[in-house]
């Protein structure tokens, strides 16, 4: 669960180009001749993609489970009249309106650790989409979670923040446990430590496709991340497009 990490998230995600990600989403809208008006962004985090969607003029609703992440999102988004921010859970959200598109990026879907809950999420997304509506999301691939992130340790020594990210891949349930330790320099030049634990579930591409089918999506496509190529066995990010 994102707690204090929320306040460092943008600093540590500085390598991710959210504008490019936004342009990829726009190219998906164009490819499927679907220019939505009402967009729902699930697990919006600190609002990095939401910001570009807001700038793009979409009528945007975005939500996340973590109030800390939402407070960072609020700082970026409160000036936009076309944006609503909510605190909800992907598994059982209820917004009482339909959207032309639902989007969730940056492996937020891997945070759903149980297949049954993922199916509930997909059914719920389906219920919130208009006819012809388009659902766009990505996952960290099974390959990436097992062979690149799993059982590996990463260290980042940034300006005023040092962090250690230790990961364990549990073969029994395909869940990667992330143990994050942050050391943040305070105003007295002392490092303050805090820790967080996160879990991502590794899903196979065909498992996700099957769950989308069970949730009654009519047309389902999957791509190697940020492209329109088929995913391969070494794809690290798989992007899905599912149409009602
Ligand atoms: C890796 S971050 C991605 C955030 C954002 N989409 C981005 O691109 O930066 C994953 C996000 O998923 C959120 N999240 C995890 N489980 C959730 C759930 N069940 N419902 C809603 N949000 C959830 C977390 O709070 C976090 O903000």
Q: Hey, what long-range contacts does 206-214 have (CB within 8 A, 24 or more apart)?
A: 207/115, 208/118, 208/139, 208/238, 208/240, 209/240, 211/115, 211/118, 211/119, 211/122, 212/122, 212/135, 212/240, 212/242, 214/119, 214/122
**Dist CA 56 CA 50 (whole Å):** 10
Alpha carbon 58 to chain centroid, angstroms:
19
Q: Which residues of the chain have pLDDT under 70?
A: none
Which atom, in ligand 1's list, is nearest to the CA of 106?
8
Per residue in 183-238, pLDDT (tens digit) is: 999 989 899 999 999 999 999 999 999 999 999 999 999 999 999 999 999 999 99
Q: What is the pLDDT of residue 5?
A: 87
**Dist CA 121 CA 156 (whole Å):** 34
Report whether residue 138 contacts ligand 1, using a CB cutoff of 6 Å: no
| For ligand 1, atom 16: residue with the closest CA | 111
| For ligand 1, atom 6: residue with the closest CA | 44
**Dist CA 179 CA 192 (whole Å):** 17
Q: What is the pLDDT of residue 12?
A: 85
CB atoms near residue 73 (< 10 Å): 25
128's tokens: 């919130």
**Dist CA 205 CA 212 (whole Å):** 11
**Sign of the CA dihedral 226, 178, 151, 155?**
positive
Q: What is the pLDDT of residue 14?
A: 86
| For ligand 1, atom 4: residue with the closest CA | 45
Average per-residue pLDDT for the chain:
96
Distance from the alpha carbon of residue 139 to the mean position of ligand 1, in angstroms: 12
Q: What is the pLDDT of residue 34?
A: 81
The answer to whether the beta carbons of residues 238 and 139 sit under 8 Å apart is yes
Q: What is the pLDDT of residue 158?
A: 82
**Its pTM surpasses 0.95:** yes
């Amino acid at each position: 669960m994102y707690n204090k990490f929320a306040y460092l998230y943008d600093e540590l995600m500085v390598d991710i180009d959210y504008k490019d990600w936004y342009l990829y989403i726009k190219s998906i809208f164009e490819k499927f001749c679907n220019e939505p008006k009402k967009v729902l962004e699930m697990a919006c985090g600190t609002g990095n993609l939401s910001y570009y969607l807001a700038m793009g003029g979409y009528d945007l609703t975005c939500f996340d489970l973590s109030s800390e992440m939402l407070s960072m999102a609020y700082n970026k988004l409160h000036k936009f009249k076309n944006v609503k921010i909510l605190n909800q859970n992907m598994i059982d959200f209820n917004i009482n309106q339909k959207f032309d598109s639902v989007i969730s990026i940056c492996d937020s879907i891997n945070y759903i650790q149980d297949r049954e809950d993922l199916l509930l999420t997909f059914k719920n997304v389906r219920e919130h989409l208009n006819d012809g509506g388009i659902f766009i999301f990505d996952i960290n691939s099974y390959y990436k979670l097992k062979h690149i992130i799993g059982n590996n340790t990463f260290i980042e020594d940034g300006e005023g923040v040092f962090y250690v990210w230790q990961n364990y891949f549990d073969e029994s349930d395909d869940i990667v446990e992330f143990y994050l330790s942050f050391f943040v320099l305070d105003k007295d030049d002392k490092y303050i430590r805090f820790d967080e634990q996160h879990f991502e579930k590794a899903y196979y591409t065909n498992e996700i496709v099957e769950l989308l089918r069970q949730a009654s999506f009519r047309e389902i496509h999957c791509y190697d991340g940020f492209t329109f190529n088929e995913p391969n066995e070494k794809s690290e990010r798989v992007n899905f497009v599912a149409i009602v």
